[in-house]
C-alpha cells in the first residue's frame, strides 16, 4: 500500500462522475428519499415522543430536541456510509463502472473524489430533511442558528464518506460491510451521544468517545439546534476534516493497489 500512497491529484474532472451518480439517482429519487428518511425519522419521533415523555429535560432541552440533534448527525453519517459502501462497491466491483471510466481520460483520484462528493451530497440531503422536521416541529432555539447545521451536515457527510471508502477499497464482497457496521458504526452511535449524553458513560469510554468523529459531529450540531454557539468549533471541524481526508487518501492508495496494479 505504501508504494501507492501519495497525495491525490485533484481536478474538476470529478464532476462527470458526480453527475453520473446524480442522473441515476434522479430516476429513483422519490423512493430513494423516502427510503433514506423514513427510518431515522421514525426512530426520532417514536423514541422522542414515546421515551421522551418519561424523561426529564437534558441540559435545558426536551428529550425530543436532544434526540433530533443527534439524529441529524447520525442520519447524515448513515447516508454517507451506505452510499460509499454498498453503492460505490456496486459501481466499482459488480458493474465495473469504474473500469469503464478509467479507460477514458480519468484517474482514480477523479472517480473517488466524484464518489466522495456524491456521498456528501446525498448525506446533505438526509441531514437537511431531518433539519426540516426540526423546523416543522419547532424543536430549535434560534432559526438563523440552525442554518449553520447545513454546512455541518456536509462536513459530516464528507468525513464518513472518506472513511467508508477505505472499507470499499478492501472489501471482497457486500457481506464484509457488516463488520464495519457492527464494529465501527453501531458502537459509535452508542458512544457518541446520539441517544443519551456522553457524560452518562464511564470515564474510560468518555475518553474514547472524545476521539470519535461522530462525537465531533454531534458537538457541533446539538448546540446549533438549541441556539447556542458550539464550543471548540475549530477542533471539531478540523477533526472531521482530518478523518474524511485521511480516509480518502488511504482509500485511494488501497483502491489503486486493487484496480491499477
Nearer to another protein, 228 or 257 (CB): 257
Contact 243, 235 (CB under 8 A): no
Residue 100 CB, nearest distance to another protein (Å)?
4
Q: Residue ranges of the alpha helices (H) in 137-212?
A: 143-146, 149-170, 177-180, 186-191, 203-209
- Applying CB under 8 A, the site for another protein has a residue count of 22
Backbone angles phi, psi at 61, to 5 degrees: -125, 155
Give the one residue of 41, 101, 224, 249 binding another protein; rule: CB under 8 A: 101
Which residues between 242 and 261 bind another protein (CB under 8 A)?
A: 260-261
Residue the block writes with cell 472518506: 162
Residue 109 CB, nearest distance to another protein (Å)?
11
Residue 23 CB, nearest distance to another protein (Å)?
7
Q: Interface with another protein includes 97 (CB under 8 A)?
A: yes
Residue 18 CB, nearest distance to another protein (Å)?
10
Q: Interface with another protein includes 107 (CB under 8 A)?
A: yes
Q: Interface with another protein includes 8 (CB under 8 A)?
A: no
Nearer to another protein, 90 or 186 (CB): 90
Helix (H) or strand (E) holding 64: helix 63-82
Site string for another protein, 36-75 (x = CB under 8 A): ----------------------------------------
As a whole number of angstroms, the distance between CA 110 and CA 13 comes to 6
DSSP 92-155: IIIS-HHHHHHTSS--HHHHHHHHHHHHHHHHHHHHHHHHHHHHHTT--S-HHHHTTHHHHHHH
Give the one residue of 33, 45, 102, 246 binding another protein; rule: CB under 8 A: 102
Q: Which residues contact 60 (CB under 8 A, 6 or more apart)?
A: 226
Q: Interface with another protein includes 241 (CB under 8 A)?
A: no
Which residues between 16 and 35 bind another protein (CB under 8 A)?
A: 16-17, 19-20, 23-24, 27
As a whole number of angstroms, the distance between CA 28 and CA 24 comes to 7
Nearest in space to 121 (alpha carbons), one of 1, 247, 3, 33: 33
Nearer to another protein, 14 or 140 (CB): 14
Q: Interface with another protein includes 182 (CB under 8 A)?
A: no
Contact 162, 243 (CB under 8 A): yes
Give the one residue of 39, 57, 59, 99 binding another protein; rule: CB under 8 A: 99
Interface ranges with another protein (CB under 8 A)? 13, 16-17, 19-20, 23-24, 27, 95-97, 99-107, 260-261
Amino acid at each position: 500500500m505504501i508504494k501507492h500512497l501519495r497525495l491525490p491529484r485533484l481536478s474538476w474532472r470529478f464532476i462527470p462522475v458526480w453527475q453520473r451518480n446524480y442522473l441515476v439517482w434522479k430516476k429513483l429519487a422519490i423512493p430513494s428519499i423516502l427510503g433514506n428518511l423514513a427510518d431515522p425519522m421514525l426512530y426520532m419521533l417514536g423514541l422522542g415522543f414515546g421515551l421522551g415523555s418519561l424523561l426529564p429535560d437534558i441540559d435545558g432541552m426536551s428529550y425530543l430536541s436532544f434526540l433530533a440533534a443527534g439524529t441529524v448527525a447520525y442520519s447524515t453519517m448513515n447516508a454517507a456510509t451506505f452510499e460509499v459502501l454498498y453503492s460505490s462497491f456496486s459501481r466499482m466491483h459488480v458493474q465495473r463502472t469504474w473500469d469503464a471510466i478509467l479507460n477514458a481520460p480519468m484517474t482514480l483520484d477523479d472517480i473517488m473524489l466524484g464518489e466522495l462528493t456524491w456521498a456528501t451530497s446525498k448525506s446533505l440531503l438526509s441531514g437537511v430533511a431531518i433539519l426540516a422536521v426540526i423546523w416543522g416541529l419547532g424543536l430549535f432555539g434560534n432559526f438563523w442558528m440552525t442554518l449553520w447545521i447545513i454546512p455541518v451536515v456536509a462536513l459530516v457527510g464528507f468525513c464518513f464518506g472518506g472513511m467508508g471508502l477505505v472499507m470499499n477499497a478492501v472489501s471482497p464482497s457486500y457481506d464484509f460491510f457488516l463488520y464495519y457496521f457492527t464494529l465501527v458504526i453501531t458502537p459509535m452511535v452508542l458512544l457518541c451521544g446520539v441517544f443519551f449524553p456522553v457524560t452518562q458513560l464511564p470515564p474510560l469510554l468518555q475518553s474514547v468517545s472524545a476521539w470519535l468523529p461522530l462525537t465531533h459531529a454531534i458537538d457541533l450540531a446539538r448546540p446549533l439546534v438549541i441556539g447556542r454557539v458550539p464550543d471548540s468549533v475549530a477542533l471539531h471541524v478540523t477533526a472531521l476534516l482530518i478523518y474524511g481526508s485521511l480516509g480518502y487518501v488511504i482509500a485511494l492508495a488501497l483502491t489503486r493497489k486493487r484496480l491499477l496494479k
